[in-house]
Structure 1
Amino acid sequence: MTLKLTFGAAKATNATLKLTIGVAKATNVTSKLTIGVAKAINMTSKLTIGVAKATNVTSKLTIGVAKAINMTSKLTIGVAKATNVTSKLTIA
């Protein structure tokens, strides 16, 4: 585990966390910036604002609540619940 900067509570296994603000509970997660609550398994997240619960998700920017399984999301605004979805821009 490599932790660079953590604000709040971080519980991680095999995770590389660069900046975490809030509560991050992750397994096999590479997170660059997480604001809010991030609970992820095998998730590569660049910027997450709000609540992100994901499994096998590559997310670049998530604003709101994102619950996804096998989802590659570039920008999600609102609530996104998806399975095997490749989304570029979603405004809900």
Structure 2
Amino acid sequence: MKPLSCTNIALCAVLVLLLANAAQVANAVSCSPVQLSPCVSAITSSSPPTAICCTKIKEQRPCLCQYMKNPYLKKFVNTPNAWKVARSCGTPFPKC
């Protein structure tokens, strides 16, 4: 078996650090449907989403399945217009 070189060990260490950082960022999302308030006008009308709306949808994407399970939020989040807004922001809804 070939011994690991210093370069391979360094690459493995960097990969572990990147994965650990990605896990912390994923856990740092605070699920708050109020954060989607900049998207209300785009969801309820045919106006295009604002940059702030798109930023908030991207931030809240890990929470969308949770919102769709809530009967009070589902009627706002699980609509064709909401899906259209998310798609136009480049953030398609996750498969729940």
TM tier, shorter chain?
under 0.3
More helix by share: 2
TM-score, with structure 2 as normaliser: 0.19
Task: Indicate the structure whose relative CO is greater, using CA pairs within 8 Å and at least 6 residues apart.
Answer: 2
TM-score normalised by L of structure 1: 0.20
